Amino acid sequence: MEDNIEEVEVVNSEYSIPEDVEVLYTSSIVDQLESKLLVGHVVKSVEDVYLLYCNYAHAKEFSVKKGDQRYFPGTTDLQSKKFECSCEGSKDEKRSVEKIPIYLKPTNRTKCKAKLKISRQMGGEWKVGRFVVEHNHDMVAVDQRHLLRSSQNISHAQKSTLEAMVNAWISVANAVAYMENDAQGSHNLSFIRKDVYDHLGRIKKHTKVENGDASALLHHFISKANKESHFYWNVQLDDDNRVMNFFFRDSRCQVDYEYFGDVMSVDTTYRTNHYNLICAPFVGINHHKQNVMFGLAFMSDETESSFEWLFRTFLESMNGKQPETIFTDQCQAMMNAIETVFPYSHHRLCQWHINQNAPSHLGSLNGDTRFKRLWKKCMSHCESEEEFEETWRIMME
């Protein structure tokens, strides 16, 4: 079996060396990085090997995504972790035969088998257990590889330079143009202009939790964990070691999720008054049709990376159990993170948010009483799939 911790395998690839000097240099880098990823090689941590694999992918011109992970039975300690080519899998493989996709997004997935897997024994060192280098698709062009998602990263030095230029009233466009010129082309930078806007936007929106409040929060979590063995908490820090996002759940949340976690709602509508943090409760419904809490998070922003951290943290706190269905609003960053972290869950949009956003798309139909009556029936009063389909057909006509 592929997921057997004891299994080790490497699939070697023969590289044809072109005469072009730049390609020769790139091939040399690929060879050097591959030598550090051979089966049995000891790695420092999950984070270190992920960065190493991303550097390897950048040199070889493909993108990386984080794959499945396993825990030691009965614990929250990570046992194995996979990193895969972004072309792994196929778009609709997680849907059953009966399920018809509501929409189809373009995909470049080709069921590529290239991957890296690391594993360890309890308390032992992380080692490379599987390294497959063969791809079943073409690599991106060299001058396009800086656009690969796993290749995009702004270093601390680059962040400092950009922030200093923007603070000196230099426009973002001119600041990026300067750095592109300094690097002798945009393809030599590890980020694109959107990454810069996202970074500067986070700085502008993010109000750091003051040291006293952050210390009090951590003290509270530690105290709760000491008193309650199944209390779980986690905190994400930014590059300056400021509290950015945090999540917690108690033992009652874990028990409720075990019984009622098939359907879950994640709502990021509300913010706190003092620090402008986003309140993100994980909510379900019990057998008495009452709301139950599965966990609670506070976030400084709504970026895809923050949501990925949040959902992976939630999944870790619940021993890897994924919900059957997740209801959210129409936040694209959250939708992307759900697709990455919860690949086997069905994602649906919250009815309240649909009703809030629909009028801006309906134009003159907003004043049509017959249409509004049929819309309301579709949204709330159809008792069978057949009744909904018929009502929807009449409404569309």
pLDDT tens by residue, 75-130: 878 889 999 988 887 765 444 445 555 445 556 778 888 899 999 988 888 998 88
Which residues are paired to 130 by β-bridges? 9, 117
* CA atoms of 3 and 67, how far apart (whole Å): 12
* The amino acid at 18: P
Residue 304 contacts residue 336 (beta carbons within 8 Å): yes
* CA atoms of 52 and 33, how far apart (whole Å): 8
Residue boundaries of the structural domains of the chain: 1-151, 152-205, 211-353, 358-396
Per-residue model confidence as pLDDT tens digits over 137-196: 888 777 676 667 776 677 777 787 887 787 777 888 888 888 888 877 776 676 777 778
Task: Say which residues have a Cβ less than 8 Å from residue 123's Cβ, sequence separation at least 6.
Answer: none
Is 178 buried (19+), middle (13-18) or exposed (0-12) by CB count in 10 A? middle
Which of 246, 344, 231 has the alpha carbon at shortest distance from 296? 246
Per-residue model confidence as pLDDT tens digits over 190-222: 677 777 877 777 665 555 566 677 888 889 999
Tell me, what's the pLDDT at 269? Answer: 81
Fold of 211-353: Nucleotidyltransferase; domain 5 (3.30.420)
Secondary structure of residue 210 in the 3-state scheme: coil
pTM for the whole structure: 0.50
- Torsions phi, psi for 244 (to 5 deg): -110, -55
